[in-house]
Amino acid sequence: MRSTFCVLFYLKRKDVRKDGTVPVMGRITIDGGKPAQFSCKMTVDPSLWNTETGRMTGRSVAAQEANKMLDGIRVKINNHYREIVDRDGFVTAEKVKNA
C-alpha cells in the first residue's frame, strides 16, 4: 500500500516572544487526512526563516543549529513512520506523532 507522507515545519507567527522570536511548529500529514501538529520546542528569528523550504537561511551558528535540530526531528519522524508501517500496515498522522 502506497501513501503520501509529508512533514512540514512552519512558524507560529501570532505568538511573538519578548525577544522577537517565534516558535517553530511541525505538521505531519498522511494521505491528505487529518494532520497532526506539534511544537518543535524551539524559537527562531522570523526574518531568517524560509517559508518555502521550512528551514532557516544563512550560515549563522543559530541558523545551522536550528536546521540541524529540524533535520533530527524529521529523521525521527521518518523512522517512526517506517516502523509503524512495517508493524501495523496502517498508519495515521496521530500514530506517528504519538510515537
CA distance 81 to 47: 32
* Dihedral of the alpha carbons of 78, 79, 82, 84, in degrees to the nearest 10: -110
Report the candidate in 70, 96, 97 with the shortest Cα–Cα distance to residue 11: 70
Q: What is the pTM of this model?
A: 0.88
Give, in order, the Cα–Cα distances in Å from 99 to each of 41, 51, 78. Answer: 17, 27, 11
Q: Which three cell numbers stand for residue 12?
A: 507560529
Instruction: Label residue 29 exposed, middle or buried (CB < 10 Å: 0-12, 13-18, 19+).
Output: middle
pLDDT digits (tens, 9 = 90+) for 15-71: 999 999 999 999 999 988 889 999 999 999 999 999 999 999 989 998 999 999 999
Residue 90 confidence (pLDDT): 82
Per-residue confidence band for 78, with pLDDT thresholds at 50, 70 and 90: very high
